[in-house]
Amino acid sequence: MKKVLKAVSVLVLVTLLFCCSGDDNNAPINNPDPDPVPNPTDATTTLINTLSVPWELLWGPDNFLWVTERNGRISRINPDTGEQQVVITLNNVAQQQESGLLGMALHPDFINTPRVYVVYTYLSGNNLLERLVQFTYSNNTLSNETTLIDQIPANRIHNGSRLLITPEGHLYMSTGDAGNTSLSQNSNSLAGKILRINLDGSIPTDNPIAGSTVYSLGHRNPQGLAIQPGGRIYSSEHGPDTDDEINIISVGANYGWQEVRGLIDTPAEESFAATTPVTESIMNWTPTIAPSDLVYYTSDRIPQWTNKLVMTVLKDRKIVALTLSNDGTMVTQEESFFEDAFGRIRDIAVSPTGRVFIATNGDSYGDTSNTHRIIEINRLN
């Protein structure tokens, strides 16, 4: 394992990285130490506190944190020093309330194929729309923007936008109903769906609707996607005034919105489900808590979370750990951590060695100040 480099070495090697990284990228990546020993006296460490609504937080294959901010900025952040390196600022991003620069994913073979997938909202006339694009990373810059999916309905609210790349090479994207509840049950609309494409932007031949990116429907505003080692995909989803949800995402499944909230337990929901098969959620919260990002934590670095779904929460300002049944189809226990410790918690990133980082979004809904944080969780109290 590499030692933490001193300042001069860091500057020299980072310069070499930026000059040499590209599509052919034969030079070694300069990585900060990926597995330092946490300070045993500090349960958490603030890495940076000058961000403006960080939305996506990822641990990159280059051993840097990658972050999107809703104002259009994408950065690499050194996970040991907090040094921020802006790789692009998108000027065509429309940030209105919950919209802006949102989800991001990195190509799994990033060293050889340095592609970055990004979701953002933009204006077409007076209308907000959303698109999924791909960039190429080289010389500490993102360039060569290529649109993969365009003209997704968007709004000031309910834009979904979480991305997940699975081991078999599919890119999943969540979309919200864009404030138009009728779109979620419309298979011709891309709103209120989980979409699925290949990493080159083509449509998989085994998608449920031939020639369509739609993988599942009946979603309201899913903002978390996570995969279990066995391949099962979970989603966390915002409900209205009731029934925030955890769902298991299956090909062609219908999750019921707007006709069904959570479980099928009212006469109207039973009537709808009698003619339209609906996949029920495996966990619900009423009153709502505003679930955001979701990961499946496999490390023993934080043993209380090992082999559990770990979820960030906005309205209730905490982290939730969910224990699953042996077959992964039921939630058997819910635990809460860091309640009201950091304000609204938007996102979570985990390194290959189990280091955990979270992105916060201020103390209240709509807070767009430049004081949002990335915090490392070293241990649980």
The domain spanning residue 331 has which CATH number?
2.120.10.30
- Convert the pLDDT of each residue in 63-109 to its tens digit: 999 999 999 999 999 999 999 999 999 999 999 999 999 999 999 99
304 lies in some domain: yes
- Convert the pLDDT of each residue in 142-166 to its tens digit: 999 999 999 999 999 999 999 999 9
Q: What is the mean pLDDT of the chain?
A: 91
212 lies in some domain: yes
75 lies in some domain: yes
Could you give the count of Cα atoms lying within 13 Å of 322 in the half-sphere of its Cβ? 27
Q: How many domains would you assign to the chain?
A: 1
Percent of the chain with pLDDT over 70: 89
Cβ contact 318:339 at 8 Å? yes
Could you give the count of Cα atoms lying within 13 Å of 341 in the half-sphere of its Cβ? 18
Closest by CA position to 64, among listed 103, 106, 23? 106
1 lies in some domain: no
Percent of the chain with pLDDT over 90: 87
321 lies in some domain: yes
Cβ contact 228:208 at 8 Å? no
Q: Give me the residues paired with residue 312 across strands.
A: 319
Closest by CA position to 278, among listed 294, 295, 261? 261
2 lies in some domain: no
Instruction: Tell me what pLDDT residue 39 has.
Output: 57
Lowest mean pLDDT among 8-22, 112-126, 216-230: 8-22
Residues near 131 by beta carbon (within 8 Å), at least 6 away in sequence: 119, 120, 122, 147, 148, 149, 150, 151, 152
Kindly report the backbone phi and psi dihedral angles of residue 320, in degrees, each rounded to the nearest multiple of 5, phi listed first.
-115, 135
- Convert the pLDDT of each residue in 189-203 to its tens digit: 999 999 999 999 999
Instruction: Tell me what pLDDT residue 34 has.
Output: 54
- Which residues form the domain of 228? 7-377
Task: Describe the chain by its helix, strand, coil percentages, rounded to 5.
Answer: 10, 40, 50
Closest by CA position to 233, among listed 277, 272, 279, 290? 279
Closest by CA position to 349, among listed 377, 368, 379, 318? 377
